[in-house]
Structure 1
Amino acid sequence: MSEYGGRRRQARRDAVTVEIGYALFSAAFAAAVIFGAVAGPALLFRLPSGIEMLLFRTGYVLAPLVFAARVVSVLACFRPDTSRPSGAHPDA
């Protein structure tokens, strides 16, 4: 019985690790897309320097905010299976 509980705890730790990795990867992707969408026109087109600076600064502010919001939203929605005590058998 203790062997089953140990595997269950390890599976729970693995699930948390995968969820954290997914949260970080998807947040980095979302932040890069937001930065590209906001600051991209300044890189592609000749714009007045004031507008270019505004676009870059806006991108630099929004990207970390999107990153943090995505990580928090993914991890807040993740709930490992806590309906059973850690030592309980799944058929019980």
Structure 2
Amino acid sequence: MNGYGGRRTKAEQDAATVEFGYALLSAGFAAAVVFGAVAGPVFLFELPDLLSALLLRSGLALAAVVGVARVVSVLVRFRRGPQPSQPGRTNPDS
């Protein structure tokens, strides 16, 4: 944003849209991987009903937590601002 309460430029709006889309897609992928890792055995093996239900519910819960955590972490990192283009390098004028 430009100053306090200013409007965002088109480039800033586009960057925020892309970052939000990336956050959602990467969160969906991470949640799917976690769900597959936890609940996958239910679909591969014949397990007792209680264990199947426990794995499915815990897989859903963990996938939701990982998805939300991923979205939050990406968006918090985005709000901090741009990273240096060449980390670890010093300015030749210093």
TM range (shorter): 0.7 to 0.9
Report how many aligned residue pairs link the two structures.
Answer: 74
**Deviation for aligned residue 1:67:** 0.7
* Map of 2:17 onto structure 1: 17
Q: Deviations over 1:28-71 (max 9, x none)?
A: 00001100110000110011111111100101111111110000
* Map of 1:69 onto structure 2: 69
Give the secondary structure class of the aligned counterpart of 1:78: helix
TM-score, normalisation: structure 2: 0.74
CA distance in structure 2 between the partners assigned to 1:61 and 1:25 by the alignment: 18
2:38 matched to 1:38? yes
CA distance in structure 2 between the partners assigned to 1:60 and 1:29 by the alignment: 14
**Deviation for aligned residue 1:74:** 0.3
The percentage of aligned residue pairs carrying the same residue is 61
Q: Unpaired runs of 5+ in structure 1?
A: 1-7, 82-92
* Map of 2:59 onto structure 1: 59
Which structure dedicates a bigger proportion of its chain to helix? 1
CA distance in structure 1 between the partners assigned to 2:48 and 2:38 by the alignment: 15
What residue identity is the alignment partner of 2:51? I
* C-alpha RMSD of the superposition: 1.4
TM-score, normalisation: structure 1: 0.76
Runs (4 or more) in structure 1 with deviation over 6 Å come to none
CA distance in structure 1 between the partners assigned to 2:60 and 2:14 by the alignment: 33
